[in-house]
């Protein structure tokens, strides 16, 4: 690829054209010595028995066997071998499976009249935090933060959805509104 005795291009120009460092031309890779091969064999044996061992524990085990090693050497050899400990990695708080998202469906809608938009809310009253009673509210969207239209209805925690649907269908009719809820 590079010619040392090129008649028109210098070695410097050839390296520049190929985007290669000139310092890398004189580098001769060093062969792995026998001691590192023995340590790598031992690391491989331990990895097959205990894939959960980390760098620090392996340094301790090798020192107990009489090897003069440090953690940087073990990290380098394990990276060369492609071994890594089998345990949960960081970033466990990132969501794995995307959950269903509920988008705001009234974006761009101008709420200009009363009873145009309805909202429901089922909450636990603060005073009854540990009770099974829930508060069911039916609100008019025109008044946003106003009081609920109907007084709160206590609903049991394990109530069937039919009760809530029946209430939602009956309330606008009771108020004299259309049943298109």
Would you say residue 54 lies in a domain?
yes
Domain that holds residue 58: 31-86
Tell me the mean pLDDT per 10 residues along the chain, length 181. Answer: 82 87 82 92 90 91 95 94 78 70 76 76 55 62 56 49 68 61 47
Would you say residue 180 lies in a domain?
no
In our burial notation (b when 16+ CB lie closer than 10 A, e otherwise), range 140-152 reads: beeeeeeebbeee
Would you say residue 18 lies in a domain?
no
CATH of the domain at 61: 1.10.10
Query: Cα(155)–Cα(166) distance, rounded to whole angstroms?
Result: 13
Report DSSP letters for 28-69, one per residue: -PPPPPHHHHHHHHHHHHHHHH-TT--HHHHHHHHHHTT---
Q: Where among 67, 86, 105 does a domain terminate?
A: 86
The count of domains in the chain is 2
Would you say residue 47 lies in a domain?
yes
In our burial notation (b when 16+ CB lie closer than 10 A, e otherwise), range 17-45 reads: eeeeeeeeeeeeeeeeeeeeeebbeebee
pLDDT, residue 69, reads: 95
pLDDT, residue 179, reads: 47
24: helix, strand or coil: helix
Would you say residue 15 lies in a domain?
no
Would you say residue 8 lies in a domain?
no
Closest CA to 41 of 78, 76, 93: 78
Whether the full predicted model's pTM is greater than 0.85, yes or no, is no
pLDDT, residue 36, reads: 94
């Amino acid at each position: 690829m590079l010619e040392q005795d090129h008649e028109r291009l210098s070695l410097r120009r050839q390296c520049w054209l190929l985007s290669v460092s000139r310092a890398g031309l004189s580098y001769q890779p060093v062969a792995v010595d026998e001691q590192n091969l023995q340590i790598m064999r031992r690391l491989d044996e331990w990895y097959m028995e205990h894939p959960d061992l980390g760098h620090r524990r392996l340094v301790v085990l090798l020192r107990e066997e009489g090897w003069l090693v440090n953690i940087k050497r073990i990290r380098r050899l394990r990276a060369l071998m492609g071994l890594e400990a089998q345990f949960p990695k960081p970033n466990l708080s990132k969501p794995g499976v995307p959950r269903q998202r509920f988008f705001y469906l009234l974006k761009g809608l101008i709420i200009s009249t009363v009873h145009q938009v309805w909202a429901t809310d089922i909450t636990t009253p603060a005073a009854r935090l540990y009770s099974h009673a829930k508060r069911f509210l039916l609100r008019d969207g025109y008044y946003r933060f106003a009081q609920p239209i109907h007084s709160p209805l206590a609903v049991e925690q394990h109530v069937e959805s039919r009760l809530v649907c029946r209430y939602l269908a009956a309330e606008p009719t009771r108020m004299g509104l259309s049943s298109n809820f």
